[in-house]
């Protein structure tokens, strides 16, 4: 219990932070429910059951990463391909985790770090780092407690109801996921011309890669990995990111 | 031979958790290497952009509604709508277009 006295978090602090987290987690959870529903349709197409969809979402909490995973399962990819694709598709969480590591109170016990890492997503990371001062684990827990079950439940619902809904509605819900991706990449492109340019280059190269002989033979997942590594590395060499602006990453 | 779905799921969960937990538990200092910082900074945008296009065109019944969703989504995000509303606008435009086809 020594750690708690060092760690300066009173019971009221914890409770207030937890309740604030719950409150902020509600809109995120509702958004998750809708988006993960469309992810569930992808899972269903890959041959997964509602239960399997639920556990993937419960344990992974990753939109793009799960989407890539489902397409690889559908394609019967190798386990190594799955590991690499998951690593690449979720690489941004590595960056977020790095950013969070810079905002942790030094004495924060290991078990808080282990738990806080479970659900680092764009939105939950965003609201956590938007708060001033050190990160409060209890705020994150409050938000996760509401958002994570909705994410998992939405995926299971998508698997179950995806084929009951009319084709037109499934088609409409299917773009929700892409809408989520767009909502993440466009706002920074508005203020950062380099990111805007890179997004255009990505679109062009991604389209081209699907039509070039040899490269088009690779699976979607592998093409995504190759393009991501090549374009990001080139961007890092040509436009090194200024460390002083690192606060912007947290958006 | 078909691979086991639960092994796939285990790999996905294990790799995803490792990515999230390692920096948070291991890094106690500022990252200095400029290339790694820059690379990590660009990766999220590049991955998501690559995955969005041209895949969004194949996600709908016709590529036209997919293209419309892309344009509406970019416009909505540009004008500051939050994540949920952007996703909803994309769904909405596809629903409307495919209603009249």
Residue boundaries of the structural domains of chain A: 2-176
Give dist(CA A68, CA A227) in Å, integer: 14
Select the residue of A95, A172, A227 nearest B41 (Cβ to Cβ): A95
pLDDT digits (tens, 9 = 90+) for A51-97: 999 999 999 999 888 998 999 998 888 899 999 989 988 887 887 78
**Are B90 and A173 in contact (CB < 8 Å)?**
no
The count of other CB atoms within 10 Å of the CB of residue B39 is: 22
pLDDT for position B6: 93
Residues of chain B positioned with their CB less than 8 A from the CB of A102: 27, 30
Q: Does B20 touch chain A (CB under 8 A)?
A: yes
pLDDT for position B79: 95
pLDDT digits (tens, 9 = 90+) for A198-224: 999 999 999 999 888 887 777 666 787
Q: Does A197 touch chain B (CB under 8 A)?
A: no
> Environment class of residue A82 by beta-carbon count within 10 Å: exposed (0-12), middle (13-18) or buried (19+)?
buried
**Are A76 and B2 in contact (CB < 8 Å)?**
yes
Select the residue of A30, A172, A182 nearest B91 (Cβ to Cβ): A172
Say if pTM beats, i.e. exceeds, 0.80: no
Angle at A119 between CA A81 and CA B3, to 5 degrees: 25
Question: Which of A111, A113, A179 is best to mutate for the B interface (most B CBs within 10 A)?
Answer: A179
User: What ipTM does this complex have?
Assistant: 0.83
Pick from A36-45, A98-107, A179-188: least confident = A98-107
Residues of chain A positioned with their CB less than 8 A from the CB of B19: 87, 90-91, 93-94, 97
Tokens of B36: 């790694």
- Chain A contacts in chain B segment 41-80 (CB below 8 A): 41-56, 59-61, 65-66, 69-70, 73-74, 76-78, 80
Residues of chain A positioned with their CB less than 8 A from the CB of B63: none
Length of chain A in terms of residues written? 251
pLDDT at B86 over 80: yes
**Of A66, A135, A101, nearest in space to B13 by CA:** A66
pLDDT digits (tens, 9 = 90+) for B29-51: 777 788 887 887 887 788 889 88
Mean confidence (pLDDT) of chain B: 87
Chain position carrying tokens 């460390």: A243
Give dist(CA A30, CA A34) in Å, integer: 7
pLDDT digits (tens, 9 = 90+) for A224-233: 778 888 999 9
Q: Does A233 touch chain B (CB under 8 A)?
A: yes
Query: Mean per-residue pLDDT for B71-93?
Result: 91
Q: Does A183 touch chain B (CB under 8 A)?
A: yes
pLDDT confidence bin for B57, thresholds 50/70/90: very high
Find the helix or strand (DSSP H, E) in which A51 lies.
helix A50-60
pLDDT for position A2: 45
Give dist(CA A48, CA A193) in Å, integer: 41
pLDDT for position A132: 76
Pick from A54-63, A128-137, A162-171, B16-25: least confident = A162-171
**Are B12 and A231 in contact (CB < 8 Å)?**
no
């Amino acid at each position: 219990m020594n750690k708690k006295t060092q760690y300066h978090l009173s019971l009221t602090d914890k409770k207030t932070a937890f309740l604030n987290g719950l409150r902020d987690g509600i809109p995120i959870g509702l958004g998750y429910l809708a988006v993960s529903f469309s992810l569930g349709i992808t899972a269903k197409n890959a041959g997964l059951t509602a239960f399997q969809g639920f556990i993937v979402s419960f344990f992974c909490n990753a939109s793009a990463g799960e989407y890539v995973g489902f397409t690889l399962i559908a394609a019967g990819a190798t386990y190594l391909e799955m590991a690499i694709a998951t690593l690449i598709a979720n690489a941004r969480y590595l960056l977020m985790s790095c950013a969070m590591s810079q905002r942790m109170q030094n004495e924060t016990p290991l078990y808080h770090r282990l738990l806080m890492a479970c659900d680092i997503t764009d939105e939950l990371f965003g609201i956590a780092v938007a708060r001033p001062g050190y990160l409060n684990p209890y705020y994150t827990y409050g938000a996760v407690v509401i958002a994570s079950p909705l994410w998992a439940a939405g995926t299971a619902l998508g698997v179950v109801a995806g084929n009951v809904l009319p084709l037109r509605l499934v088609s409409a819900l299917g773009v929700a996921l892409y809408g989520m991706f767009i909502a993440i990449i466009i706002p920074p492109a508005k203020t950062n011309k380099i990111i805007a340019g890179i997004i255009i280059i990505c679109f062009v190269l991604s389209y081209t890669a699907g039509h070039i002989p040899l490269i088009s033979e690779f699976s979607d997942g592998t093409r995504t990995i190759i393009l991501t590594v090549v374009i990001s590395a080139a961007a890092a060499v040509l436009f090194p990111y200024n460390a002083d602006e690192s606060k912007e990453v947290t958006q | 031979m078909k691979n086991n779905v639960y092994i796939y799921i285990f790999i996905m969960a294990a790799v995803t958790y490792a990515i999230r937990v390692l920096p948070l538990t291991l890094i106690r200092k500022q990252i200095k290497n400029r290339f790694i910082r820059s690379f990590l900074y660009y990766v999220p945008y590049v991955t998501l952009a690559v995955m969005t296009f041209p895949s969004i065109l194949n996600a709908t019944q016709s590529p036209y509604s997919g293209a419309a969703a892309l344009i509406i989504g970019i416009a909505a995000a540009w004008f500051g709508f939050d994540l949920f509303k952007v996703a909803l606008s994309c769904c909405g435009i596809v629903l409307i277009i495919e209603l009249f086809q």
